Structure 1
Amino acid sequence: MLQSNSPQITLSLWLLKLLNFLYPQGNAHRFQESINLISQHTANSNGKISDFVYPGITYKPWYEADDYNSLKQFTNILKQDFSTIENEWQAFLASKKNIVPRYKPSEIFGETLKDQDENWKYYLIWRQGKFTDAALSMFPKTVNIVTKLKPFLYPFGEIVFIVMEPGVVLPPHTDDINISLTCHLGIETPEDCGIKVGGETRKWSRGEALFFDNSFIHEAWNKSQSNRVVMLLDLYHPELTKVEKTLLQIALKYFNLTGEEAGYHGVKDTKYLQEKLKNLY
């Protein structure tokens, strides 16, 4: 819970007031509006905010690399270094070394998927700004590639290798809010696999990146006879300004607006932040 006398929070807000004055094009007003909406939404939805939409930015299920220069740059780096990522993944498989997967389907989607726990593996590489020990030891070249991508990455997101073995079906679900996009880089992409986001189905291709907004209802399946492997990367929505990213980072870190597994909570915290912002803008 926030403490109203926190000097770190108060100082941060006053510094951001100055930042907004110096860079009015930073759209800090959208952040303020989002806090107001969060406060209203959490008060009426038991703290859940999976359907919250950050104001003023494009909101659609799928994004193309050509939609934004930042997505094009992101894609170009992945394509340029794809063989390195793929080779390290294949070397990891050949080594037969074990990494304990971060999550199991039943831990995310409930006990109904417990029979698929061994067929869906989630190998964490990077989370909330830090590389895992496994990544540093087993995927050092991939770590270097991810380091080049850091300017685009959503700092509270993840980068992970996800393996869906034959027969795995992930049910419809939503994650987070629309301030970030999810990228899937295809590594092993057999036929009869697919992902549906916002009612539109697409397929993975080796070496190609798919971008989607995971705040839309989405689902995925592997009906083939071999593994489907993608590298998942979370990145900022390309329409957010540097000022907004800074504001959001402070809010997410200091104001307890998100829990570890996504979703918003803490109605008192958002109301406190709302009151502080009224005094600043």
Structure 2
Amino acid sequence: MLDAEDRPQEASETGTPAPEAERYVRPKQTRLVRFGKSIRAPVNAWFAKQSLIPTSPIIDAEHLPALAVNETEWRAIRDEAAALLAGREDIPAFGKISPDHRRIASGPQWKSFFFEGYGFRSEKNRALCPATAAFLDRIPGLVVGFYSIMAGDTHVPRHRGLTKAWLNCHLPLVVPKNPGRCEIDVDGTLHQWREGEWFVFDETFAHEVWNDTGQSRVVLMLQVRRPMRWPGRMAARTIYELIRRTGFVQDVRQALGA
């Protein structure tokens, strides 16, 4: 559900590669996806002018008041995610269920437990995590919602997303306590997750992720629509409807039975 662009030339190539037998290869991108990327720059410049909140790489979560979560609610969401870690081998790898992400998720280290995306829901996963599902139901403009689970030997190479029409929002649920690097770089600014504290960023800026602590990092990963003036909202709705009909979304939907 997160579009991955070819990384810039200066991007780091470090990271622990998955065993050859467990690597996933991204299929050739469709004409629609390639066309979308070719017009991305001018479209995103226009979206920036439509935005009602800052267009900086990292955005204060206070600009999205619907994300507010109290201590009791956060702990319930965290406990549901932590319970899944006992059976993490049964949680699908992100790259396995989403072929379009295989350049940045080519092995089993990065797993995803999807609740919904582009209007399609996994009722089975929602039933297993009712507190999380209830929280997602109250988020206006939700595009994607899932647990992002990264093992302690994960590196996500530098990449960019497709559109400024929505924002990436991380609610850290389990952050490793072991020494080692566990952080995200967004447009040259490093950030370490803190449990229970939202981190919001614009994925059209280049970003890269590391976890080499030997412990899993779990966040509730959301994409939500950017607050914009009505022309921007209408254009974002059009993009949303186009993307939800592509293989980019349908591959994930089929894999999850959503």
TM-score, reference length from structure 1: 0.64
1:87 aligns with 2:79: yes
What is the rounded CA distance, in whole Å, between the counterparts of 2:129 and 2:183 in structure 1?
Answer: 27
> Residues 59 and 261 (structure 1 numbering): CA distance in 2 closer, same or farther, change over 3 Å?
farther
Task: Please point out which of 159, 170, 174 is paired with 2:156.
Answer: 170
Partner deviation per Cα, 1:2-38 (whole Å, 9 max, x = no partner): xxxxxxxxxxxxxxxxxxxxxxxxxxxxxxxxxxxxx
Superposition pairs of residues 122-141 of structure 1, within 5 angstroms:
122-141=112-131
Task: Please point out which of 58, 66, 70 is paired with 1:62.
Answer: 58
CA contact (8 A) 1:169 1:222 kept: yes
Cα-Cα RMSD: 3.0
Task: Please point out which of 210, 220, 228 is paired with 1:221.
Answer: 210
Which amino acid in 1 is paired with 2:78? Answer: E
1:145 aligns with 2:135: yes
Which amino acid in 2 is paired with 1:248? Answer: A
The match for 1:75 is 67
Larger Rg: 1 or 2?
1
The match for 1:20 is none
Higher-helix-fraction structure: 1
Superposition pairs of residues 253-268 of structure 1, within 5 angstroms:
253=241, 259-261=246-248
What is the rounded CA distance, in whole Å, between the counterparts of 2:236 and 2:151 in structure 1?
Answer: 36
- Which secondary structure state, in structure 2, belongs to the residue aligned with residue 118 of structure 1? coil
Post-superposition offset of 1:76: 1.7
Post-superposition offset of 1:243: 6.0
Which amino acid in 2 is paired with 1:161? Answer: Y
Identity across aligned pairs (percent)?
A: 23
Compare 100-109 and 170-179 and name the one that shifted more: 100-109
The number of aligned residues is: 206
> Residues 60 and 169 (structure 1 numbering): CA distance in 2 closer, same or farther, change over 3 Å?
same
> Residues 257 and 160 (structure 1 numbering): CA distance in 2 closer, same or farther, change over 3 Å?
closer
Task: Please point out which of 110, 121, 130 is paired with 1:120.
Answer: 110
Partner deviation per Cα, 1:84-121 (whole Å, 9 max, x = no partner): 101111223346783434434985243x964xx12111
Post-superposition offset of 1:193: 0.3
CA contact (8 A) 1:175 1:215 kept: yes
> Residues 64 and 101 (structure 1 numbering): CA distance in 2 closer, same or farther, change over 3 Å?
same
CA contact (8 A) 1:181 1:214 kept: yes
1:197 aligns with 2:186: yes
Structure 2 residue ranges without an equivalent (≥5): 1-30, 250-258
What is the rounded CA distance, in whole Å, between the counterparts of 1:183 and 1:215 in structure 2?
Answer: 13
What is the rounded CA distance, in whole Å, between the counterparts of 1:207 and 1:197 in structure 2?
Answer: 20
What is the rounded CA distance, in whole Å, between the counterparts of 1:109 and 1:96 in structure 2?
Answer: 20
- Which secondary structure state, in structure 2, belongs to the residue aligned with residue 144 of structure 1? helix
Which amino acid in 1 is paired with 2:171? Answer: L
- Which secondary structure state, in structure 2, belongs to the residue aligned with residue 103 of structure 1? helix
Partner deviation per Cα, 1:37-86 (whole Å, 9 max, x = no partner): xxxxx9xx8542444412413422000123x2xx1x23323655211101
Task: Please point out which of 180, 184, 199 is paired with 2:166.
Answer: 180
CA contact (8 A) 2:171 2:197 kept: yes
The match for 2:11 is none
CA contact (8 A) 1:106 1:113 kept: no
The match for 2:197 is 208
CA contact (8 A) 1:99 1:134 kept: no
> Residues 108 and 78 (structure 1 numbering): CA distance in 2 closer, same or farther, change over 3 Å?
farther
Task: Please point out which of 98, 101, 109 is paired with 1:108.
Answer: 101
> Residues 96 and 183 (structure 1 numbering): CA distance in 2 closer, same or farther, change over 3 Å?
closer
Partner deviation per Cα, 1:96-154 (whole Å, 9 max, x = no partner): 783434434985243x964xx121111111111232133223112211111011x142x
